[in-house]
Structure 1
Amino acid sequence: MAEMKNTSLAERDQLNRLLKFLETEATIGPGNDPKRRTSFPMFGRRSMANATQMDMAPKRSLANGSPLDYVPSIVSPPLTNHRMHTVYVDGWSPVAVKRGDTILFPSGPRKSANTLGGVPICLETAIDLRKIVYGTPIHSFSREWRKSTFEFMCIDGQFPYGIQTLRCGARGLALCVQAYMLKQLIFDREYKSSALLGSGALCPNEFERRRALIGAICEILWQAGEKKRCCVCLKEQEACFGPDYRYKMDGITEKLQLFEFKRYEDLQNFVKRNLEQFQSDSGNGCILFLYSLVLSRTIQKVKDDLQEDHDSKLKLLTDMEDADQSLINLALTGRATPHMHNGDLLYDSKGQLLPKPVHGIKSRSQAGFLFWDKGEDPEKRTEVGSMLKTPKNPIWVTKVNGLWGLVFSLNPDLVSDWRVENRFTMWYYTGLVTQVKPTLLSIETRIGRPRPKTGLARKEAENKIPPLEQCIMTKWYGADIKWNGTLPFI
């Protein structure tokens, strides 16, 4: 009898402590409702089984008559009602110390928070890059190449859609990016409206032209990687390897961090976060893009495209550091072939079978290419195939007497409907600060320009034709071109 009395007193003491805990449960844990009874989860499979048995057991009442649902044997601490979310960040912001109105940052080089990860470049890859681009790992890029970036023109000026270029070899590569940027602005707009049709597409705001540049960089790199993978090169503060007798440091190549992507969406997000490295004055934007283009195609495939053998020394830059035709083809078509004809050539001009096929352009590119040089023999001029002359979009990179430029039309039917080619207009853009106003060309091909009757008069008339018109006539032979008040400057 005494034993049963002691047991009931112990149970009553335990129940009293439980009631005090239930009365203060509303203040335990964040976000708990005071009117809502907190449940006590049981841990483990055996505890859950015990909890089920307790639910099925008959209810008991306390000594004071108040009902009690169940009496748990183990009291567990309450859990929060909301599930915890994991947050991923690119990197933590640098610690700053504020002294009065002055914010002091820690001294010394700091890596960019957006460039965490990637693979540092190795010595062998750096040597191969310099060889395939420059021809030797001993010499490096000139000062003009280092200063070349994808900097926008003034948004309040005459060319808010344009990239500012310098008079150096990087200008041809920058205009290839400009061609794809115009494709994004005019024909691949994300938000289309009647106000943005026609010449309105050439007046983008800051967001639109930034989005177009990101899309142009991503599309060129993704095309070079055969739309399966690509590589983006960014420059870090420190070199990835030490000095070596086979390689001369240039302050750029040995500091590269390589990022590989297999999804186009990931590439877009990464370029969007790191676009400043391609645009800043100290970022070497054109060089980083050139390296990214080569590594996206892979060095071995670039060598195969160049058809390199033991006797040739083919490279992507000429001896004057100008962009070679193979580099222009790599940016426009995704293949670094140095030739501009269609398909593969199996026979030479004399009908003899070649030792191996000469690879040309295999499909229509997104942007085309036109060429003219007055120093060439009229009987042996460089022929550009129809794959480059008739691209998928009416945008052409031009090289006239060694000077790079860009002609484009706002009418997408110009390359798909022959009736539109009777009379149309085109814009000419150089990317130089010397071009102070837009150049609009009116082209008429149905009647054409007047043709002299005699051969001597015809030759004199051809010598008076501006070189840019000669270049355009390689696509539309005999076209009559008006400059609409602009003096022919090329």
Structure 2
Amino acid sequence: GFFPNPSIPYGIMQNEGGPCGVLAAVQGFILRFLIHEEVSKSFDEALARTLASICWQAAQQSDEKHAYVCLPPAGAGLTNGASSSSMENFRLFTFSDFDALLHFVESKLQVYQVPKGIGVILLVVSAVLSRGGVAHTRGDMDLQDTSLIVEHGYCAQELVNLLMVGMATSNVFDGVQVLSDVAGGSKDEATMKGIPYRGEIGFLTYYEHFDYFTVGAHLKDPRNPVWVICSESHYSVLFAKSREVPKEREFDLFYYDELAKQEEEIRLTITTDAGVPKVSKGDMAPPLEDTIRTKWPGASINWNGSDRIL
């Protein structure tokens, strides 16, 4: 479920490994509404608006433009055991108006907030249905037999993208890329789908440090200075408290890891023109630092007394 960290007023908590991609995306939107757009005055208000907005933006990418909210059967418990019920017994609610959707989610918020509950499952199912169902969600993917949940219960990139931008695309570059086998003389082409528009929140990945991925401007320069961070198999969040992506020579970013049970904020001071060289794969630099440098190359990172996370 999506329940708050008692020590960090904007933070959600993660009990165990697995759903960090979902939680990090939700955390990013909570920060958007609570700190940047200031349309929410409390954690609960921001969470409700986040859940509604994730479903609504997925619906806007569908043909019918209807958002769906999936809830457990009436009278069912709110713990993980409820998810074992047949999905045929779950209740489905349809919305064509965002305010009505938001009001409904606010009235049912406790369903999503049970610590060992099914809030994560309900959000994922609601997002898939809002996107237009399983067929449309698979149609976003490069390989349509891709699962949204991969080994060890981790989130696939397709699921993280669905929550961040409303489409379950397989890549994080901008737009669509068409690959052809010119050198081999084949006329076969492969279409690879990325991020269709500038995100409300962004994304940075440690894998770009090794040139495995390229994150496009739609996610690297989002509308709000909040980034979901992918460091190997774990997702967390980096954000600024300013309203826009910082452009100064030196500025502060804040790091939040929902699995780390943080009791204090981690404030990082970024100096963009420090000329720090790219660290090779064998060196022991914190992955977060190398991830930050995929957006601000050569930047130095001061942890301001916090332990450097290796």
TM-score by length of structure 1 reads 0.57
Q: Distance in 2 between matches of 1:439 and 1:274?
A: 32
Give the 5 Å matches for 1:158-237. 159-190=8-39, 208-226=42-60, 228-237=65-74
Q: Any idea what SS the aligned residue of 2:42 has?
A: helix
* Distance change in 2, residues 1:353/1:225 (3 Å): farther
Residue in 1 that maps onto 2:101: 267
Moved more, 339-348 or 230-239: 230-239
Give the superposition deviation at 1:168: 1.9
Q: Any idea what SS the aligned residue of 1:327 has?
A: helix
The one of 253, 263, 269 aligned to 1:442: 269
CA contact (8 A) 1:235 1:252 kept: no
* Distance change in 2, residues 1:341/1:373 (3 Å): closer
Q: Any idea what SS the aligned residue of 2:146 has?
A: coil
Q: Distance in 1 between matches of 2:288 and 2:223?
A: 22
- Map Cα deviations across residues 199-258 of structure 1 (whole Å, 9 max, x no partner): xxxxxxxx621111111111111000017320000001479xxxxxxxxx9226343100
- Map Cα deviations across residues 32-53 of structure 1 (whole Å, 9 max, x no partner): xxxxxxxxxxxxxxxxxxxxxx
Residue in 1 that maps onto 2:4: 152
Give me the identity figure in percent.
31
Give the superposition deviation at 1:330: 0.5
Moved more, 324-333 or 347-356: 347-356
Give the superposition deviation at 1:357: 2.4
Give the 5 Å matches for 1:391-430. 391-414=222-245, 420-430=247-257
* Distance change in 2, residues 1:403/1:209 (3 Å): same
Residue in 2 that maps onto 1:484: 304
Q: Distance in 2 between matches of 1:166 and 1:225?
A: 30
Q: Distance in 2 between matches of 1:317 and 1:307?
A: 16
Q: Distance in 2 between matches of 1:354 and 1:410?
A: 47
Give the superposition deviation at 1:373: 4.2
Q: How many residues matched? A: 298
Residue in 2 that maps onto 1:302: 137
Letter in 1 for 2:164: L
TM-score by length of structure 2 reads 0.88
Residue in 2 that maps onto 1:467: 287
Q: Distance in 1 between matches of 2:115 and 2:16?
A: 16
Larger radius of gyration: 1
Letter in 1 for 2:59: G
Q: Distance in 1 between matches of 2:48 and 2:280?
A: 47
Q: Distance in 2 between matches of 1:354 and 1:173?
A: 35
Q: Any idea what SS the aligned residue of 1:413 has?
A: coil
CA contact (8 A) 1:346 1:354 kept: no
Residue in 1 that maps onto 2:194: 360
Residue ranges of structure 1 left out of the alignment (5+ in a row): 1-148, 192-206, 240-248, 453-457
Q: Distance in 2 between matches of 1:282 and 1:373?
A: 31
CA contact (8 A) 1:428 1:439 kept: yes
CA contact (8 A) 1:373 1:402 kept: no
Residue in 1 that maps onto 2:150: 318
* Distance change in 2, residues 1:266/1:237 (3 Å): closer
Q: Any idea what SS the aligned residue of 1:396 has?
A: strand
Give the 5 Å matches for 1:110-149. 149=1
Residue in 1 that maps onto 2:173: 341
Letter in 2 for 1:253: M
* Distance change in 2, residues 1:290/1:315 (3 Å): same
Residue ranges of structure 2 left out of the alignment (5+ in a row): 77-82
CA contact (8 A) 1:238 1:255 kept: no
CA contact (8 A) 1:225 1:296 kept: yes
Q: Distance in 1 between matches of 2:285 and 2:116?
A: 42
Aligned-residue CA RMSD (Å): 2.5
- Map Cα deviations across residues 412-454 of structure 1 (whole Å, 9 max, x no partner): 2326xxxx242111000001354232110000112333x59xx
Q: Distance in 1 between matches of 2:39 and 2:87?
A: 35
Residue in 2 that maps onto 1:69: none
Q: Any idea what SS the aligned residue of 1:287 has?
A: helix
Letter in 1 for 2:257: T
CA contact (8 A) 2:179 2:190 kept: no
The structure, 1 or 2, with the larger RCO (C-alpha pairs under 8 Å, 6+ apart) is 2
CA contact (8 A) 2:179 2:189 kept: no
Q: Any idea what SS the aligned residue of 1:151 has?
A: coil
Q: Distance in 2 between matches of 1:163 and 1:260?
A: 27
Letter in 2 for 1:485: G
CA contact (8 A) 2:273 2:298 kept: no
Q: Distance in 2 between matches of 1:279 and 1:472?
A: 31
